[in-house]
Amino acid sequence: MSVPDQSRAETQSTPAEAKPGRRTLGLMLLLTVLGAVLVLTAAGRVWAEGAAGTLEVSVTGGKISELPGGLALVALAAAVAVFAVRGAGRIAVGLLTLLAGLGAAAAAAAGAGDTAALDTEAARKLALSSTTATEVAHTTWPWVALLGGLLLALAGLLTARYGRGWPAMGSRYEAPTRKAPAKAAESPADLWKALDRGEDPTAV
């Protein structure tokens, strides 16, 4: 194969090599958004319900634990930060997302059988400090939040594994660099050459 043919083959292979990177980036974003939506939606739903005397009481996931929702927001912010960092920064962001997802899943699992918040709500409704809720039942929403946390953790793994090869923020978003002033043109030919290069020959 001649040198021009080899260069042409390398040029043609570049888009194909970039496709896996774009696919994993798209998958990471999909997992992050889906996981965060599941966690945040579940956190606003009823996780436990019961009775306080003749009154019905219930508590949402956010009242049982604020961790799942808070960590889901951390993971969303980390997904945005992926486009602002490169190299080792991508690995750090991926590990942060991984930990946030695992933390959200663990907090959701812990809250699935929690009754402390429900007892507190029962005591508030009856204005009695020692009241506990009866006929306690738990919903499936904590497990939805757990699933969302695991999706966020998977997104973090993808970022840590493939993040180095993902595209970064476009150069137009980066801080502009100041060009060195051009030398004074010594002849009309130098003037035209400077203009062709995009330089201002009159700059001091």
pLDDT tens digits along 79-97: 899 988 888 889 999 999 9
pLDDT of residue 54: 80
Region 118-147 average pLDDT? 85
**Number of domains making up the chain:** 2
pLDDT tens digits along 40-77: 999 999 999 988 878 888 889 999 999 999 999 999 99
Residue with more model confidence, 179 or 161 = 161
Query: CB of 60 within 8 A of CB of 118?
Result: no
Does residue 189 sit in the same domain as residue 147?
no
pLDDT of residue 201: 54
Region 155-179 average pLDDT? 71
Does residue 43 sit in the same domain as residue 119?
yes
Region 1-16 average pLDDT? 47
Taking Cα atoms as reference points, which of 136, 150, 128 lies closest to residue 35?
Answer: 150
> With 50 as the cut, is the pLDDT of residue 107 above it?
yes
Is residue 122 domain-resident?
yes
Query: CB of 146 within 8 A of CB of 177?
Result: no
Which structural domain, as residue segments, surrounds residue 112?
Answer: 20-173
What phi and psi values does residue 44 have, to the nearest 5 degrees? -90, 0
Taking the mean position of all CA atoms in its chain, how far away is CA 187? 56
pTM score over 0.75? no
